[in-house]
Amino acid sequence: MKELALNILDIVQNSIKAKADEISIAINESVTDDLYQIIIEDNGTGIPEEILRNVTDPFVTTRTKRKMGLGLSLLKYHAELTGGSLAINSKVGNGTEITATLSYKHIDRQPLGDIIGVLVVLMASNQKINFTYRHKTGKGEYRFSSKETKEYLEIDTLYDRNLLKEISSMIYENLKGIEASGIEVKESYKTVL
């Protein structure tokens, strides 16, 4: 995967499979501390201890259709490539927290990429899940919550192309405001037709 946003999308699939209805994605970036941290937290079923021990092994998975689970091992690989690490805390019945710690300045750290597109895809296709996104930089912090947005707008769903575009724009402007690095907005499909 060429960008961290796709890794995040991949890891969140595990939370969705684990029947989470609250999923939080947090990015902490600091140039001065040479830190780029991704934290994904959910309130899903959690990972049993016997699986947790080998969960980053690409040949360990709880899925039955295929015998491989590459999501966590790929994120671990990308973290370790920059001299960082991956930590997983999970308790059955309570949920899981995945923390990937990367070096901000390392040449092999991928850009975050289209995180806004990832949020849009997640919100559009998982309407019953509340997604929270936090992004902290040296310039400040931005927080978005799909639940709070729905409550504020007094609507049941965010499944609306125009609304999602406006939300994307709002998140983008705020991330630009705190000088979040490596954000990319992709609309490549418009050039295909």
Partner 1 sequence: MSKITSLADLKKRREELKSGLDIRIKAIDPENVVQVKVAMATCGIASGAKTVMEFFLEQLERRNIAAVITQTGCMGYCYAEPTIEVKLPGQDPVVFGFVDLKRADQIIEKYIKTGELVDGIIPVNYQTIDLKE
Nearer CB in complex with partner 1: 105/176: 176
Phi-psi region of 46 (alpha: psi -120 to 50; beta: other; left: phi over 0): left
Residue 154 to residue 5: CA distance in whole angstroms: 29
Tell me if 63 contacts partner 1 by CB under 8 A.
yes
Q: Which one of the spans 22-30, 49-57, 85-93, 185-193 is the region binding partner 1 (CB under 8 A)? A: 185-193
Tell me if 148 contacts partner 1 by CB under 8 A.
yes
Binding positions for partner 1, 127-146, rule CB under 8 A: 127
Give 147-174 as a DSSP string: HHHHHHHT-S----HHHHHHHHHHHHHH
Q: Which one of the spans 21-29, 48-56, 70-78, 99-107 is the region binding partner 1 (CB under 8 A)? A: 70-78
Q: What share of the chain is helix, strand, coil (3-state, %, to 5)?
A: 35, 25, 40
Residue 68 to residue 86: CA distance in whole angstroms: 19
Tokens of 146: 């799909």
Cβ-proximal residues to 167 (8 Å cutoff; 6+ apart), any chain: 120, 123, 144, 149, 158
Nearer CB in complex with partner 1: 34/134: 134
- Interacting residue with partner 1 among 13, 30, 62, 94 (CB under 8 A): 13
Tell me if 160 contacts partner 1 by CB under 8 A.
yes
Tell me if 156 contacts partner 1 by CB under 8 A.
yes
Q: Taking the CB of residue 36, how many other CB atoms lie within 10 A of it?
A: 26
- Interacting residue with partner 1 among 23, 86, 167, 183 (CB under 8 A): 167
As measured in angstroms, the least distance from the Cβ of 9 to partner 1 is: 6
Q: Which one of the spans 34-42, 46-54, 58-66, 89-97 is the region binding partner 1 (CB under 8 A)? A: 58-66
